[in-house]
Every structure is written in structure tokens, then in C-alpha cells.
Structure 1
Amino acid sequence: MKNDLLLKALSGKPVERPPVWMMRQAGRYLPQYMKLREKYGFFERCQTPELACEITLQPVDIIGVDAAILFSDILVVPQAMGLEVQLIESKGPFLPNPVKTASDLHRVCIPDVHEKLQYVFDAIQLIKKELNSRVPLIGFAGAPWTLLCYMVQGKGSKTFDEAKAFCYTQPRVAHQLLQMITDTTIAYLEAQVEAGADVIQVFDSWGGLLSPADFETISLQYIRQIVTALKDKVPVIVFAKGAWHSLDAMAETGAQALGIDWCITPQMARSLAGDKVTLQGNFDPAKLLSPIPVIKKEVEAMLAAFGGERYIANLGHGILPNIPVDHARAFVDTVKGWSNGRAQ
């Protein structure tokens, strides 16, 4: 690997500077991506290996990040499990026939991932070939709780109250579904690794909607199964947005890194997570709308707060579609100019 900063940071080895990449870095803020979006539907982009490869490589070539992340979507897993998933531009995901009762589980299956999701593995093989060992490739999946939210609610939500009610009023059915998602996700991620993914990230976008006790019961116990299955094969990053209260428990799963959002200080995150795990984050994506000199100053403050060891510079959530490309590049370049705890 020509640039192995990410792999070093994940294993706790010394690095000359923190590695940097951005969640949702392959996507809507890039004009090159928008041209492809005009020609191809969302799932067409995901399911065509050549398009997924081209989109995955765009931020590596244009922004200069230290890692590529597979262009795909967390909802390919519910799709493979038998639910119809639509992605409506400017509105988000829509599942017209969500799971509501035990009888609905008959419509959901644990699929043969090679039969249903081979296009993902083909894309990974193509991306690895085109990357030619320039930077590592991150594969990913959604956490079971986050996938259940969409599979039950049927669409995006700020509260996912229907999904929570499903877990509280039909716990047996909910845990059966969570286990089915977990088993599918493990097989899916293992196949991503076999295809060439160097690192895996598990996204629990809605983990922060749960209390600490519910997070353990409804989310973390299933994430733990995924990490256990994969951690001896590749480094695993767990990102549970808003679930900072459980960083200590997440650190004990065996994950090599924990992603954090901008609502917790680096000092508090480190005190909760301990010093045996790498932290990733936590720049507020909206701050990339600031003037470039302000971005540089804020990024330098973030880097100083985290320090240079066991740290991956990233955003605290996905990059917004209205971020100017030169602002995204300024974020990356500022991290690249950081060495031995100071800006160059």
C-alpha cells in the first residue's frame, strides 16, 4: 500500500500525520458525480460496478483523501432481504411495504449474499484494481438497528418513533428481525473483505435515538456480533452517531476505531473510549460552508485537540451536498499540512 496512513492509525502505529477521509465523500457535492446522476438512477449507479468504481475513485483523484470508501448504500441489505426500496431524489428512501407485524417477517429472508449482492463484490474487485494500492478501500454496512428503522418506519424520520414502538411493543419480533439483519450483514461484510475491502465501517446513524440501556439491547449487542465476526480479518470502525454515552462499551467490542460526531469534545471522547482504540471525526459538516481561512483555523484546532496518535481526521457525519469542492479540499489539505502536532 503506497499510502497506508489509515491502516497505521487503525493499528495504533506512529504516523507522520493523521489520515483523512470524509463520510459521503463520493457524492452530491462533486460536479463529476452530478453528471453521472443526471444519466443514471441511484440504484443503477450502485448496481453497475463500473459506475460504482468511477464514483468511488472521484474523491481520491479530486480531493486527495487518504482512503476510498465504496460507493453504495446501506439499504442494499434490506433490498437483498426481500423488501422493495426506492430512493426518491431530494426526499430520501421509501420502502412501500414495511415490516409491521410478525406475519410480515415471512416477506423477509436471510439471502445468499452472492446471489443478491454480487454487484457490490464485483465493484470492490474493480475498485481495488483501479486503485492499484494507492490508498486503502473501506467497505461498509448499516448497523442492524439503523436498518430496522427504515424497514419498519418505511421512510426517513427524525425520531423513528414507529421503529422504537415496534421494538417496545413487539420485542420478540423485533429481535428476530435484528438477528436476521445481523446474520445477513455479517455474510455481506465477510464477502466484501474477500473481494478486497481493507477496512470495514459499520454505520449506526440512528444509535443516538436510544437510551444507553436500549442502545445496548437493541443496537450494540448486534454490532458486537458483527465486530466479533470481522475484527480478526480486517480493522473495523464503528460509527454510532449521537451514542457518545456508550463509547466505553463500544471500545470493548474489539473495534479498532470509533467514529464520533461534533457534539462531544475530543477530550471527553478519549476519556470514555480509553487509549486502546482509534478515534475518528468529528468536524461539523456545516462548518465546511465557512470561508476557507476559517475552515483551516477550525481544522487545526480540531487536530490539536485530538493529537496526532490513534486518530483519523473526518467529519462528524456525511458531507453536505452544497459544500464547495475547494472547501472540501481545504479540509483535506489542512490535515495533510499537519505534522508532529503543528501546521506546516
Structure 2
Amino acid sequence: MSNVSLDRVATQQTADPASCGSRFVRACLGRPVDRTPVWLLRQAGRYMPEYMAVRRHHTLLDICRTPEIAAEVTITAAERLGVDAAIIFADLLLPFTPMGLEFEFLAGEGPVVHRPVRTAEQVAALRTDRVEELQYVARAIERVAAHFRAPRADGDALGIIGFCGAPFTLASYMIEGGSSRNYIETKKMMYSDAVAWPLLMEKLVSVLAGFAAQQVEAGADVIQIFDSWAGALGVADYRQYVLPATRELVRRVQGLGVPVIYFGVDTTSLLPSMAETGADVIGLDWRVPLAEGWKAVGSTRAVQGNLDPITLFGPEDVLKARVREVLAEAAGRPGHIFNLGHGIVPGTPVENVIRVVEWVKEFGRHE
């Protein structure tokens, strides 16, 4: 945890020492809070009618690249759900374009890179000097931060989350050309090209650190780093080929004066190594009991999670019981942020999402 992070929180102090800074940021830093803060991965998405109304007139990339619309989508979701933090609406792959790598979203296929990066020459050609082209995300954050500047009815400020992809996850998209099941091409480069892989990691860290800096300057209180596909790696591979670059990215973002949340999917075996990145908060997916995951990353580190997002389709009694179970695993210790173990999926009943937020506020109060 950086001293700059503590200084930044200290500037938001109120008369009550137990509520200095926003509840969400305090939890990220492992400080006591009056209740467990809650926000949800992909809380602005295709399950929400308001978002789908916007999508009828705009593509995903249009929304991401238009600050007014990205801010509107972000704000609408946070206010509709009543969460403690708003995560800016953007996409992990946005940095590809200024790096010289074009991509698009195809219906039923997701993101597609038509000219995957698979040689040292292609890696060397990737640009790192055009990060300013991503300023539209910062402009959206400025709008969100201005909207939520005043404390809410409970006296707490809403947290603003910026984000970026992790080096491995973005590299895998670049190399595979899209989503993958086995990551064959990615691992081939990782194992066999001692020039291309380190250079790709270095370039991604440079661009992502610059992108994060724009978001922090615009008003982001926290940066979440998504390593969505890190679960495809064994522990030895993660430690040798991924951990050094990820640790460096975390270090650079923390140097901006904000906490870092580091999240991956299906990463139970990697949790102790992920903690070595130095991230302030480690996101846990639903496959590991929260108490067990917390023990794996170290009791002094904050954690985020970890309700199974598909539980949101369940009946009220089951859903309420699972919320209580997650909170019971956390046992009121400082440093827990309630969230899902991955993103809300299309078709999820909105009323169930709202109920979860309300239950966390009700059951997550600390003595």
C-alpha cells in the first residue's frame, strides 16, 4: 500500500474518524468501515433495460468512445442499483487501437483481431507513443466524478473505479485474435520467443500505466486490473512469464496515489502468487470459499467477491442465503468488498441484483 494512497484518502476526511474517505476506498486500503461496501462486476450491461435502450442506437465501441454516453451508462447503473462504487463503462481492448492493432466486435463471436500478433517483428511494430488517443475514457470519468462529487444521503461518497486489462490477458487477445479455450498461440510465444514475449509485456505495461494515469488524473479513486484469462496458466508459468510484468504495472499504478484491485477468473491456484503483485485488493471468483481465498492471499490484504453471478437467477431464499454466506465468510473483518465472482450475465433479473445490494447493506453492518 503506497503512502500516496493514504494521503489521498486523508484529504477526504470528515469529522468522524471511522468514515474518513469513501467507504469503498477505505475498504480497499483495509481500513475499518461501518458496513461492507458493495459494487458488482459488469453492473452496466445487457441485463439492464436502460443499457439496452442505449445499445439500440449505438455500438459497444461507440459508447466507449463517446464520453457523454459512457458516463450516462455508468451513472445510470450505479444509481439504479444503489451500489457504493461506479466502474467506468469501457472495454479492455481499447488500448489496441493506439498501439496500431485494429479490432472489432462480431455478433456471436465477441472481439476479433483480424491480424493477430505472432512474430517478434509484429511485436516490435506495436506503438507505445499514442496513449493520448485514449483520453475519451478520462473525459467520461470526469463527467462521472462530477456527477457523484457530493456525498450521498448516508454521508458517504460514491467511489469511482477506472480499469485496464492485465498484460497477460491483453497479450492473449492480441496473439490468439480473440477469445480462446487453450491459448495455444499465446503459450507458444511465451515459451519459445525470448525476445517477443518480454518486449510485448514491456510495451503493454507502458501503455496500460499511461492509460491508468489518465483515468486517475480525471478522478478515478481506484484502478481495477482485469486478468480475465490468467486462470489458463499453471503456477510456474504465471510466476515466470506473467508475474514480473503484472507486478510492475501494479507498482506504477499505485505510484499514482490510488489503490489497485487485481482480479482474475478461475485463479484459485494462483492466489498466493497474485498477492505477490502487491495489489491492495485481490478479487476472488466464486470457486473458492471467501475465507479460504483470503487466507491464500494473506489476511492483511483486502479481498473482493465472491457471489456466483448465476445465483442471481435463483429464488429469493437461495440468493439471500448465499449473500449471508459470503458475508459470514468475511466475518466483518476490515478489507472486504462485496462483489460477484465474475460479471452479471445477460438475462439476469434486475430486481434480484437490486435485492443483493440491499441485503448487503442490511446484513453487512459492522458493530
TM-score bracket for the superposition, by shorter chain length: over 0.9
**1:305 counterpart (313, 319, 329):** 329
Letter of the aligned partner of 1:145 in structure 2? F
Letter of the aligned partner of 1:334 in structure 2? W
Equivalent residue runs for 1:310-321 within 5 Å? 310-321=335-346
> Percent identity, aligned pairs only?
38
**1:219 counterpart (237, 242, 265):** 242
Letter of the aligned partner of 2:319 in structure 1? I
Shift of 1:84: 0.6
> Does the CA-based 8 Å contact 2:173-2:179 persist in structure 1?
yes
Shift of 1:38: 0.7
Name the counterpart of 1:63: 81
Q: Could you report, residue by residue, the CA deviation over 1:323-344 in whole angstroms, capped at 9, with x for unpaired residues?
A: 01001111111101114469xx
Q: Is 1:326 matched with 2:344?
A: no
**2:90 counterpart (72, 79, 86):** 72
> Does the CA-based 8 Å contact 1:144-1:222 persist in structure 2?
yes
Shift of 1:127: 1.2
Letter of the aligned partner of 1:335 in structure 2? V
Name the counterpart of 1:236: 260
Residue segments in structure 2 that go unaligned for 5+ positions in a row: 1-11, 13-18, 151-156
TM-score for the superposition, normalised by structure 1: 0.95
Name the counterpart of 1:263: 287
Farther off after superposition, 100-109 or 199-208 = 100-109
What is the distance in 1 between the residues matched to 2:164 and 2:192?
Answer: 27
TM-score for the superposition, normalised by structure 2: 0.89
Name the counterpart of 1:11: 29
What is the distance in 1 between the residues matched to 2:138 and 2:105?
Answer: 21
What is the distance in 2 between the residues matched to 1:101 and 1:271?
Answer: 40
**1:274 counterpart (287, 298, 318):** 298
> Does the CA-based 8 Å contact 2:41-2:342 persist in structure 1?
yes
Name the counterpart of 2:15: none
Q: Could you report, residue by residue, the CA deviation over 1:189-239 in whole angstroms, capped at 9, with x for unpaired residues?
A: 112111111000000001111111111122221110011112241011111
**1:127 counterpart (134, 138, 144):** 144
What is the distance in 2 between the residues matched to 1:253 and 1:150?
Answer: 22
Q: Is 1:172 matched with 2:195?
A: yes
Q: Is 1:112 matched with 2:111?
A: no
SS in 1 for 2:56: helix
Shift of 1:281: 0.6
Q: Could you report, residue by residue, the CA deviation over 1:64-86 in whole angstroms, capped at 9, with x for unpaired residues?
A: 11100010001001222110110
Letter of the aligned partner of 1:308 in structure 2? G
What is the distance in 2 between the residues matched to 1:162 and 1:205?
Answer: 17
> Does the CA-based 8 Å contact 1:17-1:339 persist in structure 2?
yes
Shift of 1:111: 2.8
RMSD: 1.7
Equivalent residue runs for 1:176-215 within 5 Å? 176-215=199-238
> Does the CA-based 8 Å contact 1:304-1:341 persist in structure 2?
no
Letter of the aligned partner of 1:194 in structure 2? E
Shift of 1:106: 4.4
